[in-house]
Amino acid sequence: MSNIRPLLRLTVLVSAALFGGCRTETAPSDDLAFCSRKSNDLVLRLEAEPNNLNPLLSTSGYNSLVDYQMFGYLLTIDPVSMELAPYLAKSRPAIQELNDGPYAGGMSYTYEIHEAAVWDNGTPVTGRDYAFTLKAVLNPFVTGAKRLVPYVQFIKDVVIDPENPKKFTVYTNERQLSGEERVSSTFYVIPEYAYDPEGLLKDIPVADFSDEAKMKALSESDDRLSRFADQFQDPKYSNDPAAISGCGAYKLESWEPGQQLSLVKKENWWGDPLVKDFPNLGAYPDRIIIKPIIDAATALTALKAEEIDVMSDINPKDFTDLVAAGDSSCYRLEAPSILQVAFLSLNTRIPKLSDKRVRKAIAYAIDVDQIINTLYYGLAERTASPAHPSTSYYNQQLKPIPFDIEKAKSLLAEAGWKDTNGDGVVDKDINGQKVELQLRYGFTATRSISQQIGLLIQENAGKAGIDIKLDGKEFNQLLDDRKRGDFDIIAGGRSLSPLYWEPKQNYHTAGDNQVGFGNADTDALLDSIQNTFDEAERLKMYLRFQEILYDEMPEIYVIAPKGRIAIHKRFEGPTMAMYPGFLVNLFHLKENAN
266-275 contacts at long range (C-beta below 8 A, 24 or more positions apart): 266/120, 270/114, 270/116, 270/117, 270/118, 271/116, 271/117, 273/116, 274/114, 274/116
Q: Among 19-33, 67-81, 165-179, which is the least confidently predicted range?
A: 19-33
The CATH class that applies to domain 72-233 reads: alpha beta
**Start and end residues for every CATH 3.40.190.10 domain found in the chain:** 23-57+248-336+563-594
Give the pLDDT confidence of 223-249 residue by residue, as tens digits. 999 999 999 999 999 999 999 999 999
State in Å, rounded, how far the first CA of the chain is from the last one: 37
**Start and end residues for every CATH 3.90.76.10 domain found in the chain:** 72-233
Q: Percentage of residues in the chain with pLDDT exceeding 90?
A: 78
Per the CB < 8 A criterion, the answer to whether 584 and 44 are in contact is yes
Give the pLDDT confidence of 206-226 residue by residue, as tens digits. 999 999 999 999 999 999 999
Q: What is the pLDDT of residue 18?
A: 43
Beta strands 287-292 and 41-46 are parallel
Q: What is the pLDDT of residue 27?
A: 39
Give the pLDDT confidence of 573-592 residue by residue, as tens digits. 988 888 888 999 999 999 76
Please, which residues have CB within 8 angstroms of residue 101's CB and are 6 or more apart in sequence?
Answer: none
Q: In this structure, how many other beta carbons lie within 10 angstroms of the beta carbon of residue 164?
A: 13
Helix (H, G, I), strand (E, B), or coil: what is residue 27? coil
Q: What is the pLDDT of residue 38?
A: 92
Per-range mean pLDDT, top range of 6-15, 319-328, 519-528: 519-528
Q: What is the pLDDT of residue 131?
A: 98
The CATH class that applies to domain 340-561 reads: alpha beta
- State the average pLDDT over residues 44-59: 90
- State the average pLDDT over residues 417-423: 96
**One-letter amino acid for residue 144 of the chain:** G
Instruction: Look up the pTM and report it.
Output: 0.81
Please, which residues have CB within 8 angstroms of residue 518's CB and are 6 or more apart in sequence?
Answer: 507, 508, 509
Q: What is the pLDDT of residue 1?
A: 35
Strand partners, 491: 344
- State the average pLDDT over residues 169-174: 96
Phi-psi region of 192 (alpha: psi -120 to 50; beta: other; left: phi over 0): alpha
Exposure of 286 in the CB half-sphere (CA atoms within 13 A):
5
Q: What is the pLDDT of residue 465?
A: 98
Q: What is the pLDDT of residue 327?
A: 54
pLDDT band per the 50, 70, 90 thresholds, residue 499 = confident
For residue 60, the 8-state DSSP code is B
pLDDT band per the 50, 70, 90 thresholds, residue 296 = confident
User: At 256, which helix (H) or strand (E)?
Assistant: strand 250-256
> Rounded to whole angstroms, how far apart are CA atoms 237 and 243?
6
> Rounded to whole angstroms, how far apart are CA atoms 190 and 130?
7
**Start and end residues for every CATH 3.10.105.10 domain found in the chain:** 340-561
- State the average pLDDT over residues 319-348: 88
Helix (H, G, I), strand (E, B), or coil: what is residue 236? helix
CATH number for the region 23-57+248-336+563-594 comes to: 3.40.190.10
Q: Among 38-47, 451-460, 500-509, which is the least confidently predicted range?
A: 500-509
Give the pLDDT confidence of 68-106 residue by residue, as tens digits. 999 999 999 999 899 999 999 999 999 999 999 999 999
> Rounded to whole angstroms, how far apart are CA atoms 443 and 470?
8
Per the CB < 8 A criterion, the answer to whether 95 and 108 are in contact is yes
**One-letter amino acid for residue 155 of the chain:** I
Give the pLDDT confidence of 249-281 residue by residue, as tens digits. 999 999 999 999 999 999 999 999 999 999 999
> Rounded to whole angstroms, how far apart are CA atoms 536 and 415?
38
